[in-house]
Amino acid sequence: MPHFFTDRRGGSSLGAYESLNLALHVGDDPETVATNRQQIGSAQFMNQVHGDEIIIVDSVTSDIPRCDGLITTKSSLSLAVMVADCIPLLLISKEAVGAIHVGRAGLVNRIALKAIHTMRSLGSIDIHAILGPSICGACYEVPFEMQQDVMQEHPRAFATTRKGTPALDLPKALIADLVTAGVSFEASTICTFEDEMYFSHRRTNPTGRFAGVVSL
């Protein structure tokens, strides 16, 4: 199924948003963002809120849904998820596709498993997951209390930084969920904090957002 991940190249934004920023909510010029979005074609975006709501969509609408996951069974529709350290998760099957925003809250609330269940209820049989670039466990430093809270739900999220301080490995924990769900996967090894070709909220704030895009 057609899918891709953007990076910072090829857009018109300037300064902290240089250059292919796809987000309207980060302070960039809206007209410039609209021009940037034309680079990836027509796609349904989300108003992402670090929740676990998933919406099934049939067409691109100007009324942007407030959610963190989109699923469609329509072959003419592209779905987009925006990130700048969180995991852009694309779920692909012959019957349906999904674009899911998996941050710390989404991981704890198991939004990926919810999306897989939704796709299976729509007839999906063999689902393949693709994890795009995101912050790695060695770079995602968090307070000890936050680390422990997440580990209560996801022990495999445990990580430490190169300095030995508490951290979280979101991709590792997400992969554990995918394996449990019987979903095949492939995962990018790119860390958005380390690779300046990608936007990273942890590295620079304000900053833009790149996207994962998928269609049936």
Confidence of residue 88 (pLDDT cuts 50, 70, 90): very high
* Mean pLDDT of the residues in the chain: 97
Q: Give pLDDT, residue 62.
A: 87
Mean pLDDT of the region 29-53: 97
Contact 215, 24 (CB under 8 A): no
Contact 46, 67 (CB under 8 A): yes
Give first-to-last CA distance, the chain, whole Å.
6
Token readout for 121 is 């209820």
Each residue of 156-214: pLDDT tens digit?
A: 999 999 999 999 999 999 999 999 999 999 999 999 999 999 999 999 999 999 999 99
Sign of the C-alpha dihedral, residues 161, 26, 46, 41? Answer: negative
Distance CA 43, CA 123 (A): 23
Distance CA 11, CA 146 (A): 36
Residues 6+ away with beta carbon under 8 Å from 192: 83, 84, 85, 133, 134, 135, 198, 199, 200, 202, 203
Confidence of residue 76 (pLDDT cuts 50, 70, 90): confident
Mean pLDDT of the region 68-72: 98
Cis link prior to 206 (omega < 30° from 0)?
A: yes
Backbone angles phi, psi at 63, to 5 degrees: -85, 90
Specify the 3-state DSSP secondary structure of 163.
coil
Each residue of 1-18: pLDDT tens digit?
A: 699 999 999 999 999 999
Distance CA 132, CA 215 (A): 15
Distance CA 82, CA 200 (A): 12
Mean pLDDT of the region 95-114: 98
Q: Give pLDDT, residue 130.
A: 98
Distance CA 19, CA 203 (A): 16
pTM: 0.97
Q: Is residue 65 predicted with pLDDT exceeding 90?
A: yes
Domains of the chain with bracketed CATH: 3-215 (3.60.140.10)
DSSP of 28-94: S-HHHHHHHHHTT-S-B--B--SS--EEE-SS--SS--BSSEEEE--TT-EEEEEESSSEEEEEE-S
